[in-house]
């Protein structure tokens, strides 16, 4: 129960860190509002006139996935907007850094058991970044 409460607190902190209403513009550079839904992408501000804001999305694993045994866990992301090329950084609330690839796989034995909150950070060529989160369980 304590782990569940801790994960919920972490998720709440992530959501509140970028609390901008979907109907509001940010204070500078016509910043795009962040989509703070878990498992959804967030958009970053764009400094280039006419450029679409950088957006990050976690394609897999899906929210609430459960991994066990030898079943491979696939991690896949997408990015759009901003300025290519993009760099990717995945991290877990339990074990820290996971990968710097757009897509990768891991076996549950490579992950610690528990409820993981995963944060994907995508950075574009101009240094703008966007984040997306998901959660999964390893048993």
Whether 9 has a pLDDT exceeding 90, the answer reads no
Residue with tokens 């129960």: 1
Q: List the CATH number of the domain containing 49.
A: 2.60.40.10
Confidence of residue 50 (pLDDT cuts 50, 70, 90): low
Span of 8-12, 24-28, 36-40 with lowest mean pLDDT: 24-28
* Average pLDDT of the residues in 83-108: 97
**More confidently predicted of 47 and 93:** 93
The pLDDT tens digits of the residues spanning 112-131 come to 999 999 999 999 999 999 99
Residue among 130, 113, 107, 110 at smallest CA distance from 53: 130
- What's residue 47's pLDDT? 52
Q: Which domain holds residue 110?
A: 2-138
Helix spans in the chain (H): 2-17
Give the count of beta carbons closer than 10 Å to the beta carbon of residue 33.
17
Confidence of residue 57 (pLDDT cuts 50, 70, 90): very high
- What's residue 41's pLDDT? 55
118 neighbors 135 (Cβ within 8 angstroms): yes
Our count of domains for the chain comes to 1
Distance of CA 76 to the CA centre of its chain: 11
**More confidently predicted of 47 and 19:** 47
């Amino acid at each position: 129960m304590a782990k569940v409460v801790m994960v919920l607190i972490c998720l709440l902190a992530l959501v509140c860190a970028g609390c901008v209403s979907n109907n509001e513009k940010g204070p500078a550079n016509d910043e795009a509002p962040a989509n703070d839904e878990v498992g959804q992408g967030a958009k970053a501000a764009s400094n280039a006139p006419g450029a679409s804001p950088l957006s990050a999305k976690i394609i897999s694993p899906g929210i609430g996935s459960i991994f066990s045994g030898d079943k491979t866990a696939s991690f896949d992301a997408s990015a759009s907007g901003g300025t290519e090329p993009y760099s990717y950084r995945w991290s877990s609330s339990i074990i820290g850094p996971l990968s710097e690839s757009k897509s990768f796989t891991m076996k549950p034995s490579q992950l610690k058991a528990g409820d993981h909150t995963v944060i994907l950070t995508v950075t574009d060529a101009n240094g703008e970044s966007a984040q997306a989160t998901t959660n999964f369980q390893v048993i």
